[in-house]
Structure 1
Amino acid sequence: METLVRVTDLSCHFGGHPVLSGVNLELARGQVVGLLGPNGAGKTTFLRLLSGLLTPASGHIEVLGIDLNRRPLAAKRHIGYLPERTQLYPELRVDEYLTHCAHLHRIPRRAIPKAIAAAKARCGLSAHGRRLIAQLSKGYRQRLGLAQAIIHRPAILLLDEPTEGLDPFQMRALRALIRELAQESGVIFSTHLLPEAQAVCDRVLILYEGQVHLDTDLNTAPPDHVWRIRLGNPITVMELSAFAPVIGALSLGPNRFQVDLVPGATSADLARAILAAGLDLLELTPARSDLERVFFDLLGVEDRA
């Protein structure tokens, strides 16, 4: 697949405080990558760096092989960006605002009406071209922000909390639109809605304290020999590996582990070994691409109610 964005060892500091550290990413055409993480993890900063609004302390960003720091105008031509808070002009009408955006993106004058019509159609704004922006609801303003991001048909689309302000029907339509846009572009979007990311994304990056703690492909099914267990007794990884039929174990928190079974062993063999050791087995589940579980595991927070 064609690589649209390559990020290498990206770091950013604010007032000497590290906000991002050593972030790496490759985005291919046709991919939808979700940025997940708690507030303050660095998601918005990362998107601002990718859009060229901020300059990194170190590291490199290449957009279609163009160094964003050295040739920002050439690189930004291929980027569409929906910020967390889109700067709209309430005194303008929808068509007037999109015409202004088309000029900023240097769309040829003759092509502007067609570009505006296509962007409005994709974002459900075809019947609202004459409306004042001040009269739009929050959801429709979000649609307008997305329309300005795609009006020049960019190869890379950066969306910061794109579902903010949308009702469930609009969110469903946006998911379909993102998948449609990804057929010809690459999409990176941040969200705090874990099910939303799982429904739309091919890959997710979980950011925590400015670092990537997980970069995983959601289209890859987990192997059937990897299981998660929760015990009612305190035990270490080494103690567990000494009697259980596993070739590796990873601690996910107090008395919680992800284990890789030895060839030929089953979950029943694992359960019998745990019970024979006099331990309480409280949970035994296959390791699956459940973002909520993975997210809380990485943050060291119990995800059960």
Structure 2
Amino acid sequence: MQQMIKIKSLCKSFGSFSAVNNITFDLNKGDILGFLGPNGAGKTTTMRMLTGFLKPSSGDVIINNRNMKDNPEICKSFIGYVPEGAPLYEEMTAIDFLKFTAKIRKIRKENLEKTLENVINLLNLKKILFKKIDTLSKGFKRRVGLAQAIIHNPEILILDEPTDGLDPNQKNEVRSLIRKLGKEKAIIISTHILEEVNAICNRAMIISDGRLLLDDKPNEILKKSTSYKSIYIAIEEKNSFDLKNEILNKKISKDVSVRNNQCVIKTNNSKSVKSNLDEFIKKNKFTLKHYSIGKGSLEEVFRRLTSDE
């Protein structure tokens, strides 16, 4: 896949405070990257440097094989950016704002009508085009913000908290649009909403205190969770505490706990633990009330990594 972004040893300090500390990664077309971190982790500062709004203290931002430092205008032409809160000129109507954005993005007059038609249809903006932006719902303001970001059909989209404050239906609409756009573009989504990553991203990074802690596919990150492949079990014949003691006594597993009236047996991905447990249940003819295998928790990995900082 075509490499669209390359970040090398990126740092940003404000006086003695280090907001971003030596971050390196790259992004290809087709990647939808979830950029995760607690509040104050350095997500927004990093995105401002990627988009050329903020100069790094050191390091390089390479956009489509061009250095942002040397070619800022060309680099920015490849990027669509929705800042946190999607700030807009609220005294303008939606259509006037989109025309204004098209002019700034140097879209030719002969292409203007078709360009506007494309983004209006894609974001379903027809019914609010002539309304002032300050009268729009938060959901429509987000859509207008996304429209200005994609009006010039950029190859890169950088979205800071794109669904923050939206209701469930609005979130679903925005996520569906991002998935659709992600087939042809490189997209970075900064968020502290972990469900966002599972819903739309094919890659995730976790940063804290300005440092990159983890960069992997979401399903690989889930495997780092302590609950991954754990067995959750409850039976009719015994309460969970008695069952836990019996499992320990039979040496089926050394790591058994009780949570929500279920035994949680950590397997450490060992097939023998599951087979021995299944044999134990079968031999004693226990009646299962619950039996499931843990899929892992992104939230647990996130908390473990960021709270240790």
Query: Smaller-chain TM-score range?
Result: 0.7 to 0.9
Partner of 2:305: 298
Counterpart amino acid of 2:29?
A: R
Identity %: 36
Q: How far is the alpha carbon of 1:288 from its aligned partner?
A: 4.6
Partner of 1:177: 177
Q: How far is the alpha carbon of 1:112 from its aligned partner?
A: 1.4
Question: Structure 1 residues 288, 208: CA separation in 2 closer, same or farther (over 3 Å shift)?
Answer: farther
Partner of 1:151: 151
Partner of 1:160: 160
**TM-score (norm: length of structure 2):** 0.77
Partner of 2:70: 70
Q: How far is the alpha carbon of 1:286 from its aligned partner?
A: 7.0
Partner of 2:37: 37
Q: Contact (CA 8 Å) 1:13, 1:57: kept in 2 or not?
A: yes
Partner of 2:60: 60
Counterpart amino acid of 1:153?
A: N
Q: How far is the alpha carbon of 1:297 from its aligned partner?
A: 1.5
Question: Structure 1 residues 227, 128: CA separation in 2 closer, same or farther (over 3 Å shift)?
Answer: closer
Alignment map for 1:124-135 (pairs within 5 Å): 124-135=124-135
Q: Contact (CA 8 Å) 1:94, 1:131: kept in 2 or not?
A: yes
**Partner SS state of residue 159, structure 2:** strand
Q: Contact (CA 8 Å) 1:91, 1:132: kept in 2 or not?
A: yes
Work out whether 1:211 is the aligned partner of 2:218: no
**Partner SS state of residue 54, structure 1:** coil
Question: Structure 1 residues 71, 265: CA separation in 2 closer, same or farther (over 3 Å shift)?
Answer: same
Matches of 1:286 and 1:165, distance apart in 2: 33
Alignment map for 1:254-265 (pairs within 5 Å): none
Q: How far is the alpha carbon of 1:227 from its aligned partner?
A: 5.9
Partner of 1:234: none
CA deviations over 1:93-126 (Å, ceiling 9, x no partner): 1111001101111111111121112112222212
Q: Contact (CA 8 Å) 1:206, 1:214: kept in 2 or not?
A: yes
Q: How far is the alpha carbon of 1:139 from its aligned partner?
A: 1.9
Q: Superposition RMSD on alpha carbons, in Å?
A: 3.0
Q: Contact (CA 8 Å) 1:38, 1:192: kept in 2 or not?
A: yes
**Partner SS state of residue 131, structure 2:** coil
Q: Contact (CA 8 Å) 2:38, 2:306: kept in 1 or not?
A: no
Q: Contact (CA 8 Å) 2:115, 2:151: kept in 1 or not?
A: yes
Count of residues in Structure 1 that have an aligned counterpart in Structure 2: 265
Question: Structure 1 residues 286, 60: CA separation in 2 closer, same or farther (over 3 Å shift)?
Answer: farther
Q: How far is the alpha carbon of 1:24 from its aligned partner?
A: 1.3
Partner of 1:100: 100
Work out whether 1:15 is the aligned partner of 2:20: no
Question: Structure 1 residues 289, 35: CA separation in 2 closer, same or farther (over 3 Å shift)?
Answer: farther
Larger CA Rg, structure 1 vs 2: 2
Question: Structure 1 residues 170, 139: CA separation in 2 closer, same or farther (over 3 Å shift)?
Answer: same
**Partner SS state of residue 5, structure 1:** strand
Q: Contact (CA 8 Å) 2:229, 2:296: kept in 1 or not?
A: no
Work out whether 1:115 is the aligned partner of 2:115: yes
Q: Contact (CA 8 Å) 2:78, 2:155: kept in 1 or not?
A: yes
Q: Which runs of 5+ in 1 are unaligned?
A: 230-243, 246-257, 271-284
Q: Contact (CA 8 Å) 1:117, 1:126: kept in 2 or not?
A: no
Q: Contact (CA 8 Å) 2:85, 2:161: kept in 1 or not?
A: no
Question: Structure 1 residues 56, 166: CA separation in 2 closer, same or farther (over 3 Å shift)?
Answer: same
Partner of 1:6: 6
Alignment map for 1:191-206 (pairs within 5 Å): 191-206=191-206
Q: Contact (CA 8 Å) 2:82, 2:149: kept in 1 or not?
A: yes
Matches of 1:300 and 1:16, distance apart in 2: 23
